[in-house]
Structure 1
Amino acid sequence: MSGCNNQNITPDYHLPLSGNSNHWQVSGYEMSITPEEFKIDNGTISFKNERRTDSFSFNTHAIINGTDETIHHKSVTAMTASITEESTGGIESVVFKNNNGEPITLEDVNEVYMIVSWRDIQSEKNINERITLYSKSDNEQSSE
């Protein structure tokens, strides 16, 4: 006997995230969205063009249903050497809910971006840069 199951099945989403700014490159970062968890991990952030810093931090944001959420952050300080590349680390967090109270899907995520803040050793200034890691509008244009 075969039957039809009318349950709504929410698929799992695994989104590779990468991007560049003038001084930084992010690669291998991944976001996973399931009905049970929201996870972001596995990335590498690298200083480009042979530049160096002795400290930096980043905040990763996702714009979910029009609301800007900080989904991951990390700070790094070098004790003896300068930093040129670092693992992003990762985090599992609560499941974000959409406007109907259901777990979000990739459709609810408009953008993912990272703000990197660091001290430039050469200029001795604190600098911030934004790196776009995912944009729904860019993905929609590229699939047309």
Structure 2
Amino acid sequence: MTGAAALVWFKRDLRVRDHAPLAEATHFDNALGLVVIEPQWLESPECDPRHVGFLLDCVAELKGDLAARGLPLLVRTGAMPQVLQSLRREFRFTHLFSHEETGPGWSYARDLAVAEWCRHQGAHWTESPQTGVVRRLRSRTG
């Protein structure tokens, strides 16, 4: 897509192989990887210093894997809508790609805020399903 820029938001799945959002972003002239270390995660009961250390090790490996494919990886800390706003000014991206995440309530609230931000900014966000869980259903029965 001529002139368009895309961000690949790596949430929990830090692979480069068999990664639908990454594959989608490669159709754009400019693509960037993004990992955001979120305060909500750091403050959550499921986070431990060992998790943070493991994440940072994995991010270093991901950075090398993406560099080998000609894609830079941005690592930011902050609330996702504010991070996106800052990156929008810097890179003028038009598309955001990520996996759908199944996680605790704070991550769902964050995704709702990201969806709202994208609507207001005119950015296109594509979430690729990763599990059999279907989000945003009113009922889980037939």
| Larger Rg computed on CA atoms | 1
- Name the structure with the higher helix share: 2
TM beyond 0.5: no
Select the structure with the greater relative contact order (CA < 8 A; seq sep ≥ 6): 2
Using structure 1 for the length normalisation, give the TM-score. 0.25
Using structure 2 for the length normalisation, give the TM-score. 0.25
- Name the structure with the higher strand share: 1
